[in-house]
Amino acid sequence: MTHRMVEMKPESRTRWLRGVSAPGAKIRLVCFPHAGGAAGAFHDWAALTPPEIEVKSVQYPGRQDRLSEPCAATMEELADAITAALLRELPDDRPLALFGHSMGSAVAYEVARRLDEAPGRTLARLVVSGRARPRTPQELAPRPAPADREILDHVRELDPEGAATYEHPELRPLIMPSLRADFGLLAAYRPTPLHRLGVPVTVCGGDRDPGCAVEELSSWADVTTQGVDVRVFEGGHFYLNPRKEELVGFVASRLS
């Protein structure tokens, strides 16, 4: 894989999207962060991809430079707003691919099902990571939003090192609201019916992820008519941090 060797352009920002513009790119990869996460999780992906791929990342409301905005209350609200932003802010006809990690996988899927039906837009591939496919109400009933203690216990299990951030007395009031909102959104999210996409789905995961067992990754075959391929990396739920170059290279190869 050839990394970008040219001088990087300044980051372009809109309300919803972050990333370096690449006018000569043939395809756009739009990345969706995990619960409580922000667009900065993908800030260096552009430098690891070949020049034919433009990388954008989604900034959810209620965090970082959108801290003053209310977090999305439902998955439908969030996916509708992101889809509208993509159609408005990426007006040309270059194909789109979506990558989501953990909660971002569910958000990316919901945006993909909307783009799949949007006239004049080409959705090339959905890439999901660290999460089983969404469950319907018949499979798993919606749950009440978890209490903060439950959220933090789950975060400590998934990301023991990063969980220390939520214990910091000055940072916790800034980051808990978005984490609380995202976990509440996921607790209530049960799509019905389950939409089958007309594009292939690539599924990634860590071999020691306590939140998503390897055998659950293949469940994404239920949401596409075009087949899935699964790639397992060494690591836990946040395997994508130490395995970043390997993961980005693999994703780029699936978009070639």
Structure tokens, 5? 């060797």
CB 71 within 8 A of CB 178: yes
Residues 6 and 50 sit within 8 Å (Cβ to Cβ): no
In sequence order, the 6+-apart residues with CB closer than 8 A to the CB of 53 are 22, 25, 26, 27, 28, 29, 252, 255
Structure tokens at 92: 């040309």
Query: How many CB atoms within 10 Å of residue 142?
Result: 12
Look up residue 125 and give its two tokens: 């591939």
Cα–Cα dist 194/154, whole Å: 26
Question: From the candidates 57, 101, 129, 237, which is the catalytic residue?
Answer: 237
Task: For residues 217 and 251, give the distance between their C-alpha atoms in angstroms, rounded to a whole number.
Answer: 16
| Annotation marks residue 129 as catalytic | no
Phi, psi of 110 (to 5 degrees): -65, -40
Peptide bond preceding 50 in cis form (omega within 30 of 0): no
Catalytic residue among 57, 101, 102, 129: 102
DSSP three-state, residue 74: coil
For the question of residue 237 being annotated catalytic, the response is yes
Selection from 92, 88, 85 nearest residue 26 by Cα: 92
Q: Annotated catalytic sites, by residue?
A: 102, 237
